[in-house]
Amino acid sequence: MKQQGIKIVSNNKRATHDYELLEKFEAGLVLTGTEIKSIRAGRVSLQRSFVQPRDGELWLIDAHIAPYEHGNRENHDPVRPRKLLLHRREINKIIGQLSQKGLTVVPTKMYLKNGLAKIEIALARGKRKYDKRADLARKDAERQVQRALREKYRY
């Protein structure tokens, strides 16, 4: 999916299923060596990853960027913590919001924007089981309505 110089590399569908996303931010990543080559190849998984504040900075934890196939012995560790690049006021806002009960920060997607790796993170609140069921029921109803409309207006 390409739009305005943006190529989405990885989506975290689990985040939208497990969390209610309140506010989204775009952050850069501090990468080493061959990580950008693996990202460009789309070998990224954000499924179990999360964002954690450390010493007034935000870090991406447990995001898996596969080792580059054509790399050498200096290849990167696939799940190492990666520093996120945000403006100081955004970092302070996020850390302030995290002090509230029940809020967390989750990565929602990783993409290439004009050749640079970016990650979209979201301030989120965990959903309860009945919220997840209600969302699934709503999506199913929307799908059925769309299907019925397609059938009705088919030539």
Distance CA(21)–CA(41), nearest Å, equals: 28
pLDDT tens-digit map of 80-131: 999 999 999 999 999 999 887 779 999 999 999 988 999 999 999 887 777 7
Mean pLDDT along residues 134-147? 88
Let me know: does 51 contact 59? Beta carbons within 8 Å: yes
- Domain presence at residue 138: no
pLDDT tens-digit map of 2-30: 556 889 999 998 888 888 889 999 999 99
Report how many domains make up the chain.
Answer: 1
- Domain presence at residue 112: yes
CATH number at residue 13: 2.40.280.10
Q: Global pTM? A: 0.78
- Domain presence at residue 51: yes
- Domain containing residue 49: 2-127
- Domain presence at residue 84: yes
- Domain presence at residue 37: yes
Q: What percentage of the chain exceeds 90 in pLDDT?
A: 49
Could you tell me the end-to-end alpha-carbon distance of the chain, in angstroms, rounded to an integer? Answer: 29
pLDDT at 129: 76
- Domain presence at residue 139: no
- Domain presence at residue 140: no
pLDDT at 3: 55
**Mean pLDDT, rounded, of the chain:** 88
- Domain presence at residue 99: yes
Beta strands in 55-151 (DSSP E): 57-61, 64-65, 82-85, 103-113, 116-126
